[in-house]
Amino acid sequence: MKRSSQANLKRLRALMKKYDLKGDDVAQRLGVTTRRVYGWLSVGQTTPIPNTKLQLLGLLLRSQENGRVGGLAFRLVPTPKKKRVRRTKQRPRGGRRK
């Protein structure tokens, strides 16, 4: 684990403790799965929390206290999930159709 990922992990834990958050609270705010958050928090983590996600979480939590970001009121809207496109089997090229 890199030094920066250790610092990010400590900061994430500190934010969760300060604002009394659970893994699903963090997941909802950042738009990731709860499993992903617990993966970030695990001791043998393979993928640490990205700097941008940690900065976003800090910004959201600080702005939650006063309800504004940069003088503008805001509300997060979840993004819709993409539909999976089912691909059909293609016929082999050439030859006759039966």
Tell me, what CATH number does 49's domain have? Answer: 1.10.260
- Please indicate whether residue 69 or residue 64 has the higher confidence score (pLDDT): 64
CB atoms within 10 A of CB 5: 16
Which one, of 65, 55, 60, lies nearest residue 76 by Cα? 60
pLDDT tens figures, 20-62: 999 999 999 999 999 999 999 887 777 888 899 999 999 888 8
How many domains are there within the chain? 1
pLDDT at 33: 92
Q: Which domain holds residue 69?
A: 3-73
In this predicted structure, the answer to whether residue 83 has a pLDDT above a threshold of 80 is: no
pLDDT over 90 at 2, yes or no: no
